[in-house]
Structure 1
Amino acid sequence: MALLGKIRNNMWLVVILLALALAGFIFMDMTSAKSGGGFGSQTTLGEVKGEEIDFIEFQRAEEALYSGSGEVYGRRESLWNYFVEKAIVDDITSSNGIAVGADELNELEFGNNLSPIMQSYFRNPQTGQVDRNQLNEVKTAIENGTVTNPEFANRFNELRKQVIKTQKQTKLSNLVAKAIYTPTWYAETMDKLNNETAEFDYVSIPFDSIADSSIKLTDEDFAAYIKEHESRFTNKEEVRNLDYLTFDVRASKQDSAAIAQRLTNMVEAFKNAENDSLYAATKKGFMMNTYAKMSDLTGPLKEEVGQIGVGEVYGPYIDNGIYTLAKLVSKKIEADSAKASHILRTVENGDPIQLAAAQKYIDSLKKEIQSKKISFADAATANSQDPGSAAKGGELGTFAPGMMVPQFNNAVFGGKEGELYTVTTQFGVHLIFVEKLIYKTNEMKYQFAYVGEPIIPSDSTINSIEDKVFASLDATKTIDDMKKLVNDNTQMEFAGGLKINDYTFGNLAASEVTRDMVKWAFDEDTEVGQVSPHLYTINDPNFYVPSKYIIIGLASIDKPGIASVSSVKAQITDEVMKKKKAEYIKSQISGTDLNAIASKYGVEVEHANNVTFGSAMLTQGQEHMFVAKILQLAWCFCWSGRRPVWCLCS
């Protein structure tokens, strides 16, 4: 058990090992599913219309498009769906003579009619517009054969495949759309439905007017509901159903007290620190780059900020599961927004030679502007390397605190109107002209430095909980044994309808661990009623400590066909409850007096006018089926809609 502490103390090494292990896991998970034959067959993920989807190609596309970012199983599922779609589109379009020519592709990639794929990939997040400069640089490099970055080359090739697939799909959709016509009978029917109006009084009875406890649900109710929605609950493949127990790993009172004491011991040193930013950083904290309004502060600090003097430390207090110390570094009445312009000389990757040249260039421009030899706007137009603002004389418009990078933000909101300021950011060297500081609220704003420690279980607490759960697992061989572990703190949960390629279930986030659980459920040696011999650990994604231990058992197996009640019961309980409540409410309503019905359920009679099938908006939302019923009938009736039970007279 002491090994856990050593691992957490060497987390950098664990991260590397996990990355290597995950890479191996991914490969084995994709290629080892009951396949025989040579190496070639083992790298085939699947087959669509006779076209094999190869693992190597899949992995290359994943690396190029995602570069390791995003949730691994979610991105892989998305990419798999893309490969399947592409195979289908390629098959259909090739047989129909649909293709994308070289000139057309060039227009989609670099022309005035950019593909949505290119627009998304090359959009500047700050301006929201396509970065034409970057796109033109890519085009030039491709045309001149000067692309030297293999990662970028792979990524662009994958983008090109998506552009071609999307364009083919668009052409195919247009072809199908042009081939479809609207029959006269359908047009006349829809015209009638969308133009025939109804005026009626109605009562909307909410489902929560009936307590859940007053409705008894039986397996027969669930079975009937499944039968009514057979197409929705028909499994095309075998599914497996799990029972599982979750044991939460939480900090003990002793853990919490020890963390609070460690923070308390820092108060004086934090208060006396001359460099607040440095002190906070050495304690894994941080200092705010901007000033915050009282309403933007969190936790108890929001209520106490008015009583804290500059230089004082507040805390420790609990904010979002973290014991925190907050030192008030400064406070001032800051402008609510500002209007400014700038001239940028770019510096690539912090290159010191470029940086020195940029600073010299900006200093020279600053002197020219201050001596009135040139206006700021003219200097910006002629010299700024920010194409978005240069064309407007360097104008950036009006912006609020925090919208610009910290150095830029502090120069503007810490400066004076009409003054020039030089700052260096990750983009390069800026010459800033503060045109106007706009004060609307004159509200005091605060700058804090923070030090905190999350309230997480100690090694001894983790080891103690793990030992107890392991002991329980050792004595648990069947699901009947699992049921004996249920108590006030640990409830049996159910995950139904799991497919062989699923990677998450219940409230558990997708991870290698949840994927392992599903793989165990589908292992050919796993039997119904059996409990997995493995203790599954779910780690806190932020603090790399166990947050849950899980014991699982295989509850049942559903062969292809209509789903069993047990496999979908948790999923449809709310729907079946509403159906039963609707039946009960309708059984309790007699007569046609809407006022009496409304009074019985504590609601009001409402009136609807000029309601059509096409615009079936009532109190609770769109109710097309309900309105369709109205347009056919002219007496009082009750109807169970998507949300409440409706009663009306037309």
Structure 2
Amino acid sequence: MGIMGYLRERMGTILAFFIGFALLAFIVSEVVRSGGSFFRDDNNELAVVNGEKVPYDEFNKKLEQNTAQFKQAGQTISPQITSYIQETTWNQYLSQLLLKKEIEKVGLVVGGDESSSMVNGNTPDPQIARQFADPQTGQFDRNRLNQFLSYLQSGKADVTQKQAWKDFLGQLIEAKMASKYMALVTSGLYVNSLDTKDDYEAKNKLVNFKYATLDYSSIPDAKVTLTDDDYNTYYNAHKGEFKNPQDLRSFEYVSFNAAPSKEDSVALKADADKLAEKFKASDNDSLFVQINSETKTPIAFQKKGALEPKLDSLMFNAAKGFTYGPYVSNGSYKIAKLTDIKTTFDSVKTRHILINPAAEGGIDKAIAKADSLKKLIQGGKSFADLAATFSVDKGSGSKGGDIPAFDVNGAMGGGQGQITPEYTNAAYKANKGDLVVVTSQFGVHLIQIEDQKGSVKVVKVAIVDKPISASSKTQTVAYSKAQAFLGNLTKNNFDAEIKKEGLKKSVAQDFTGVAAGLPGLDNAREVVRWAYKAEKGDITDKVFTVGDQYIVTRLSEIKPKGILALDLVKKQIEPAVRNDVKAKQLSEKFQAALNGSSTIDQVAQKAGSKVVPVQNIVFANPVIPGASIEYKVIGSVFGSQPNKLSKPVNGQTGVYVYVVDGFTNPPALSNNVREKQQISQVLLQRSEGQILDALKDNANVKDNRAKLL
């Protein structure tokens, strides 16, 4: 009774303990399963490289900078471009991190005198020279540099400008140390006389030979049975070829199409027809576009060739007010209206001073600063000097604010990039010599119009677009089918259910953890994240929406980083293994034909082949005319004696037997020094990339990008 009384009294405490313990166990199990930590915040850990953490926010700053550069160049940021920028930024970051460690190991430094010389020395760093070049001559202008350094020390420079200069110098020093490290490693490269002789002969020594071949295709695939020994033999002989540089995933999926139906398109066309009548009658086209168009594109003057081809010829031959459409373009119904026509300059030349609102304390203060600079220039101050001092666009600032000439569409000559619409419109509205202040996505610009050239007809076309999208009914039907299919799945019946429902299975193969788009799946980032959390054979617990498709997925393969196991490459190597088996049979056939034969013609006749003569082949270009690249065959040829029948050689497309007619040796090498220099130059060009590749291969990298990007 004592025990029962004790339990009654303490039951609340005991229950609370066990419930709390169960909850803690649940949380811990979830954390372990997801790879996180209960006691620390590792959501910011993008990767760990040789024990050093890579913070996500630090990497993301570089990623945003690179993305901004793409946008500034007028590049549309698609999922594929996003993936490319992420991978490029990662490789840059990883290379810098690994180089930094190597530099620390060997004790390389840039001393105070050296860093000072990079800025103030007789031959400043090339980047300093470029930043402070005379805009007229392109030559380094020391006065510009001294003016800028004096400004920084005068107390007039703000914290942002000082930090930007400090960061710039830090990058120069990092680059200097990296170049020292590369020089240290590449100084060990040496080309000797034997290297030059071998290279010269490989490019110039000629061989004439005759060959007979038995193609692998002469044996039907169906007559070849592959055994485990066949696969193992090939795999073990080529193991080094199956090194996987990074973790890869593959999944199978079934897609349920939610694209607009014929009925959807008809209904949308009827709505677009009504909208076209209203647009035609509108007397405020800009407001009409803003209210009714999916894409709120500013209405701006454009020259011929800038409009899509369907509109270009129409609008440049129509009268003001002409309305065209609805027509289909890029998945939308569009209606276009010619709102204005005029003749303007073919190109405008400007220079600018760019002010960062964030550094000035807001847009109003940035505009006020631009107005102050405008008054200084009107009072006689040098625009170029003020640009070098105050512009946050250091690329143009070091050139006096100079911007390449651009047309009415903002396109700079020679494909140098794109000017923002706000900047372009302001420049085309002003007169030559005017100073204007305008705000764009990059900040506040003080623009001076330097020149306006040529004459060109331009049109202003307002466009209303309505995407051809699926109705809710179409989407619901497709989603319901996908959900019903998912509901019937178990881990083992994926293929059976596909067959039962008469569906088609697709495969997304060998993608990385940072892939944004996959073949047939343009924006598949969510699915990729799932794939890198799932185990082989797992089926998704939800229907994914990818574009106008609903998909149900099953993780079919995981290829870890490193040498891949045979079962992961078995399907990939099957054609090569089959050719190896065929090669044995064809080699035996040739070997039988060689017995008792003294000429290549006799061998070919016995084997049922024909003799093909080949002339003037060089070792450096191992191509058999009319056949293919045959490294092994050509290598054997150059190692053979003339007039001697070869043994069978397994090539890329078949088995060969050959006889060398003779070699033609090139003239003696007359300029050994020049040949050495050429080979050395090639080695140096390759060396930097190969050094970085070697560092990456040897690095211990835990990569979390699949989870965080």
Superposition TM-score tier, normalisation by shorter sequence: 0.5 to 0.7
Task: Kindly indicate whether residue 326 of structure 2 is the aligned counterpart of residue 316 of structure 1.
Answer: yes
Mapped to 2, the partners of 1:585 and 1:304 lie a distance apart of: 66
Aligned-partner SS, 1:521:
coil
Q: Which residue does the alignment assign to 2:482?
A: 469
Q: Which residue does the alignment assign to 1:298?
A: 308
Q: CA distance change for structure 1 residues 291 and 516 in 2, over 3 Å: closer, same or farther?
A: closer
Aligned-partner SS, 2:195:
helix
Q: Which residue does the alignment assign to 1:65?
A: 62
8 Å contact from structure 1 (residues 322, 453) kept in 2:
yes
8 Å contact from structure 2 (residues 343, 455) kept in 1:
no
1:591 is matched with which residue: 591, 597, 610? Answer: 610
Aligned-partner SS, 2:454:
strand
Report the Cα offset of residue 188 of structure 1: 2.5
Q: Which residue does the alignment assign to 2:504?
A: 491
Q: CA distance change for structure 1 residues 122 and 495 in 2, over 3 Å: closer, same or farther?
A: farther
Identity %: 19
Mapped to 1, the partners of 2:611 and 2:262 lie a distance apart of: 62
TM-score (norm 1): 0.63
Q: CA distance change for structure 1 residues 241 and 430 in 2, over 3 Å: closer, same or farther?
A: closer
Unaligned runs of 5+ in 1: 1-27, 366-378, 523-527, 541-546, 595-606
8 Å contact from structure 1 (residues 502, 518) kept in 2:
no
Mapped to 1, the partners of 2:154 and 2:223 lie a distance apart of: 72
Task: Kindly indicate whether residue 459 of structure 2 is the aligned counterpart of residue 460 of structure 1.
Answer: no
Q: Which residue does the alignment assign to 1:372?
A: none
Correspondences of 1:118-267 after superposition (within 5 Å): 148=159, 166-197=175-206, 229-234=238-243, 241-267=250-276
Q: CA distance change for structure 1 residues 411 and 107 in 2, over 3 Å: closer, same or farther?
A: same
Q: CA distance change for structure 1 residues 420 and 578 in 2, over 3 Å: closer, same or farther?
A: farther
1:326 is matched with which residue: 324, 329, 336? Answer: 336
Report the Cα offset of residue 225 of structure 1: 6.7
Report the Cα offset of residue 94 of structure 1: 3.4
Q: Which residue does the alignment assign to 2:553?
A: 552
1:534-570 per-residue CA deviation (whole Å, 9 max, x = no partner) reads 32233x4xxxxxx33222224356787544456674x
What is the one-letter code of the residue matched to 1:281? Answer: Q
Q: Which residue does the alignment assign to 1:278?
A: 287
Report the Cα offset of residue 314 of structure 1: 0.6
1:407-427 per-residue CA deviation (whole Å, 9 max, x = no partner) reads 7756887899xx766655446
Mapped to 1, the partners of 2:34 and 2:140 lie a distance apart of: 43
8 Å contact from structure 2 (residues 344, 458) kept in 1:
yes
Correspondences of 1:500-515 after superposition (within 5 Å): 506-507=518-519, 508=521, 512-515=525-528
Report the Cα offset of residue 450 of structure 1: 0.6
Report the Cα offset of residue 517 of structure 1: 2.1
8 Å contact from structure 2 (residues 517, 525) kept in 1:
no
Mapped to 2, the partners of 1:110 and 1:456 lie a distance apart of: 62
Mapped to 2, the partners of 1:622 and 1:130 lie a distance apart of: 53
Mapped to 2, the partners of 1:31 and 1:516 lie a distance apart of: 18
Q: CA distance change for structure 1 residues 532 and 166 in 2, over 3 Å: closer, same or farther?
A: same
What is the one-letter code of the residue matched to 2:280? Answer: K
8 Å contact from structure 1 (residues 30, 45) kept in 2:
no
Mapped to 2, the partners of 1:296 and 1:94 lie a distance apart of: 53
1:621-650 per-residue CA deviation (whole Å, 9 max, x = no partner) reads 9969487667567899999679xx9x9999
8 Å contact from structure 1 (residues 280, 451) kept in 2:
yes
8 Å contact from structure 1 (residues 342, 396) kept in 2:
yes
8 Å contact from structure 1 (residues 326, 449) kept in 2:
yes
Q: CA distance change for structure 1 residues 279 and 453 in 2, over 3 Å: closer, same or farther?
A: same
TM-score (norm 2): 0.58
Q: CA distance change for structure 1 residues 384 and 344 in 2, over 3 Å: closer, same or farther?
A: farther
Mapped to 2, the partners of 1:475 and 1:103 lie a distance apart of: 74
What is the one-letter code of the residue matched to 2:271? Answer: R
8 Å contact from structure 2 (residues 226, 578) kept in 1:
no
Q: How many residues are paired up?
A: 554
Q: CA distance change for structure 1 residues 407 and 622 in 2, over 3 Å: closer, same or farther?
A: farther
Report the Cα offset of residue 266 of structure 1: 1.7
Q: CA distance change for structure 1 residues 390 and 550 in 2, over 3 Å: closer, same or farther?
A: closer
1:565-617 per-residue CA deviation (whole Å, 9 max, x = no partner) reads 56674x779999999999999999932357xxxxxxxxxxxx997x7555789
Mapped to 2, the partners of 1:504 and 1:483 lie a distance apart of: 30
Mapped to 1, the partners of 2:53 and 2:382 lie a distance apart of: 52
